[in-house]
Amino acid sequence: MTRKSPLTFYEFFAGGGMARLGLGENWRCLFANDFDPLKAATYRANFSDAAEHFHQGDVWALTPANLPGAADLAWASSPCQDFSLAGNRAGLAGGRSSAFFGFWRLIEGLAADGRAPRVLVIENVGGLLTSHGGRDFTALCGALAAQGYRFGALEIDAVHFTPQSRPRVFVVAVRDGAAPQGASEFHTRAVKAAHERLPDALKACWIWWPLRAPEQRNIDLAALLEPDSDCRWRSAAQTRALLEMMDTRNRAKVEALVSVGGRHAGAVFRRMRAGAQRAEVRFDGVAGCLRTPRGGSSRQLLLIVDEGKTKSRWLMAREGARLMGLSDDYRLPNAQSPGLHVIGDGVVVPVVRHLAQHLLEPLLLAPIQTMAAE
């Protein structure tokens, strides 16, 4: 950091404050909001200064006058269900994702006041790039360009940071000044295709952000699980029923580990395949993408193969929090389903930290030329 005062930010659709935790101590939150009472309560439980800046309510009810000062960054993780492959693909016109326009109306108002944040981050699921044949992403880019922002997208899978497969798109936009350009492994095929679909006028505003790759992850799913003695296990009959839901390929994975011996932890989802519910298991040390209990794929199960015997249980909220990069002193709701609800809609903390450290902070504070050489 090159200035004594911290960088400042607004956080919209803040949930339990995971983006704030990822930004870290170099940043000060001027304003945060969320509509969901459970998430709002979780935010307040984890941040002692929440009374000073947290607003619970609909983003459409806010005006620029509610937002103090002039923040360096505005972060928005708007509801993703309408972009998700598990949702109805309604796009930006969808009831939930239309909340984005409530946020965008505030950015336009801040710009009219001369207080537009220099940098924006818009985080969402991969469907943002392809919804309605890419027209929604084009509309987003057009809105950014109309307010003088240049922009680019990164698709980052949390599996680089925690043992959870969770790809998310981060659109990073800057309003003034030079910006670095360079290669990154986070310029995925989907990002490149989305860029290619843009009209030439928007391509001219595009930035290929040169975000470096993280160090190799050195922890797996098993390391984040609670001790067996502290867990509530499903019955033997329920575990047999789970195995019977597997197709030949998935059942063979389990049988191979039973034969090998030792202890192995696998993550299981139940999905609809060809009109029938199937169980799919992975034993690669990685959990599937965490979801809220209400939507998308069903709640995640764990299948443990231990010295030739199998047993199963539900993934616990605290374990899910660890998969999101949250420390054990993060305060979750008391019950499992509310805890999973909060974390399932969140952003992975170390992903945000990596983005802040290697892109956002240098962009706002350091000479631009130093960034491309990282």
Distance in angstroms (rounded) separating the CA atoms of residues 191 and 304 = 37
Question: Is 109's pLDDT higher than 90?
Answer: yes
Q: Are residues 271 and 150 in the same domain?
A: no
Q: Is residue 328 part of a domain?
A: no
The two three-digit tokens of residue 100, written as one number: 């984005």
Q: Is residue 185 part of a domain?
A: yes
pLDDT in tens, 9-53: 999 999 999 999 999 999 999 999 999 999 999 999 999 999 999
pLDDT in tens, 242-257: 999 999 999 999 999 9
pLDDT in tens, 211-232: 999 999 999 999 999 999 999 9
Of the listed ranges 82-86, 98-102, 172-176, the one predicted with least confidence: 82-86
Q: Are residues 201 and 254 in the same domain?
A: no
Share above pLDDT 70 across residues of the chain, in percent, rounded to a whole number: 90
Domain count, the chain: 2
User: The domain spanning residue 206 has which CATH number?
Assistant: 3.40.50.150
Q: Is residue 330 part of a domain?
A: no
Q: Which pLDDT belongs to residue 365?
A: 87
pLDDT in tens, 275-297: 888 999 999 999 999 988 764 45
> Which domain covers residue 262, as residue numbers?
227-315
3-state secondary structure of 42: helix
Q: Which is higher by pLDDT, 165 or 275? A: 165
Q: Which pLDDT belongs to residue 265?
A: 97
Q: Are residues 252 and 285 in the same domain?
A: yes
- Which of 271, 270, 261, 277 is closest to 310 using CA atoms? 261
Q: Are residues 302 and 206 in the same domain?
A: no
Q: Are residues 191 and 308 in the same domain?
A: no
Q: Are residues 149 and 196 in the same domain?
A: yes
Q: DSSP secondary structure string, 133-169?
A: GGHHHHHHHHHHHHTT-EEEEEEEEGGGTSSB--EEE
Q: Are residues 90 and 147 in the same domain?
A: yes
